[in-house]
Amino acid sequence: MSAAARHIPVLIDEVLDALAIQPGEIHVDGTFGAGGYSSAMAGRGARVIAFDRDPDAIAEGRADAEAKGITLIEGEFSRMEALLEEAGVAGVSGVTLDIGVSSMQLDRAERGFSFQADGPLLMTMSQSGMSAADFLNEAAEEEIADILYRYGEEPRSRRVARAIVAARPLERTSELASVVRRALGHKPHDKKDPATRVFQAIRIHVNRELEELERGLEAAEAVLEPGGRLAVVTFHSLEDRVVKQFLRARSGGEGGGSRHLPERKAAAAPTFEKPAKAIRPGPTELARNPRARSATLRSAVRSAAPSSLSTNARSARP
């Protein structure tokens, strides 16, 4: 089965509506995955520039992308300005982000994302840098507990962290899943496996997903031309909150402050307008694709106001 056949694009019609593509426009797909969004955008006549940080997504999508005239680039969407500059593109009419793991990443045991299949404890989207095993075997118990609480909203994070430290070294997903189930108590007929939240938290931490999202939104603001459209699909409340607060702050509302980004001048003109109400999948999509159940789409239109970050602030990023 091809990669594209295994990943069903989420909220695709709603994303296309929000993007309102005119033939010949340049659109960025920041999260290529199996190429579902990129293909649909190209099908509407856009010139698509797509990024993915996962070398497998790039290798497996290359031939199809080429056939459809999609420019496919390996890299993080947080580096969108620099990557577009290298590709000779100054401004774009649309930026789309479909945040989270792809079905290919989740379904391949050897990538280490799933608690349902045994595999090495990796969870790295880019297949480089700190792995889940590196983190769990080296971090202090308190740091592990903080991550499980912050990114997994796991109420018994301290108990789980203690159990993880006692069981070190951990090398396999099945070992981690058993440690968590033993620590929290798990009956086979329980609706939700307690490992769900813990795996989510570790994945978000290892891949710096919330920082990537925050910087990706700033980058989108910088590269979108006036009238350009931003569409972001997220899969859990922590990510949705980041997008919601960003759009509220950038469209003249309150909030949007981030630990990771430079302060924005209070009186700066709104850089986005017409933030749309959050859209969630309807019953027909959920019946076809249960993985879409926690998806939320938010979108807005770029105004003509200058981007919030000065060149200095942008180049100071890690």
Ligand X SMILES: C[S@@+](CC[C@H](N)C(=O)[O-])C[C@H]1O[C@@H](n2cnc3c(N)ncnc32)[C@H](O)[C@@H]1O
Contacts with ligand X by CB under 6 A lie at: 7, 9, 30-31, 33-37, 51-54, 57, 76-78, 98, 100, 102, 125, 212
- Shortest Cβ 52–ligand X spacing (Å): 4
- Shortest Cβ 238–ligand X spacing (Å): 14
Residue 279 DSSP code: B
Q: Are 80 and 95 in contact (CB under 8 A)?
A: yes
Query: Which of 50/165 has CB closer to ligand X?
Result: 50
Query: Which of 59/140 has CB closer to ligand X?
Result: 59
The dihedrals phi and psi of 209, each to the nearest 5 degrees, come to -65, -40
- Shortest Cβ 36–ligand X spacing (Å): 3
Query: Token pair for residue 217?
Result: 């939104």
Please state, as a whole number, how many other Cβ atoms lie within 10 Å of the Cβ of residue 295: 23
- Shortest Cβ 155–ligand X spacing (Å): 27
- Shortest Cβ 303–ligand X spacing (Å): 25
Residue 29's H or E segment, with its range, is: strand 26-29
- Shortest Cβ 183–ligand X spacing (Å): 29
Cα separation, 232 vs 15, whole angstroms: 8
Query: Which of 11/148 has CB closer to ligand X?
Result: 11
Cα separation, 71 vs 65, whole angstroms: 7
Query: Which of 194/281 has CB closer to ligand X?
Result: 281
One-letter amino acid for residue 249 of the chain: A
Cα separation, 118 vs 99, whole angstroms: 24
Smallest Cα–Cα separation from 24: which of 46, 42, 39? 46
Strand partners, 224: 92
